[in-house]
Amino acid sequence: MSGKFSLLLISVLFVFSFIQCKNVDDKKKAQPKAEAKTNNLPPLPDQVYSQLYEECDFIDYIFFDLPFSLSQNEKPSIQQNVLFIGREGLSELPHGCKAMARKFFKIKGIIVLEADVFMDGKCNYFVFYKDGKAAYLNKMNQAGINFYNNLIEQAAKMNPGNSQ
């Protein structure tokens, strides 16, 4: 009886270990891309910027540390959101920056572009991904900084014990 119990206990522990390892792997997949691969990227081309402004009909955000997600489907809000993207690129990235969100730009239900949103005191920029690879790097303008600061303040009010 003791041998069967030991075998059962080891089997259960193995299953829990496997589940825990899988959860860690899933969290790693959801984390932003490494910043080392983003140096020397060009800014978003004018054609892509215009396409987002004119044709994007849905924006989704997945925040890494905030207790909510955000979607926008009204044209004026989407266009305002696109305007948060500064037209200039960055020559060098600040060190130690962490993405706060992944942003998905959709046109007619298809994700046409993704971006990691970097926003804190010294990091205010977007890294855009095309086909899963870092492709463009743009500064965030002041309106974007204000928007994301407001989101952080709202999140702090929702969860006062866990402010950024």
Q: Nearest 5 degrees, angle CA 76-CA 80-CA 81? A: 115
- Domain range list for the chain: 35-158
Spatial separation of the C-alpha atoms in residues 58 and 128, rounded to whole Å: 16
In three-state secondary structure terms, 113 is strand
pTM of the model: 0.73
Mean pLDDT per 10-residue run, the chain (164 residues)? Answer: 43 34 39 54 95 98 88 97 93 84 97 94 91 93 94 78 52
Mark out the alpha helices in 31-164 (DSSP H runs). Answer: 46-55, 75-82, 142-158
In three-state secondary structure terms, 1 is coil
- What was the pLDDT predicted at 6? 40
Strand (E) or helix (H) holding 22: helix 2-30
- What was the pLDDT predicted at 37? 56
- What was the pLDDT predicted at 162? 54
Q: Collect all residues with Cβ–Cβ distance below 8 Å to 53 and sequence separation of at least 6.
A: 79, 82, 83
- What was the pLDDT predicted at 35? 47
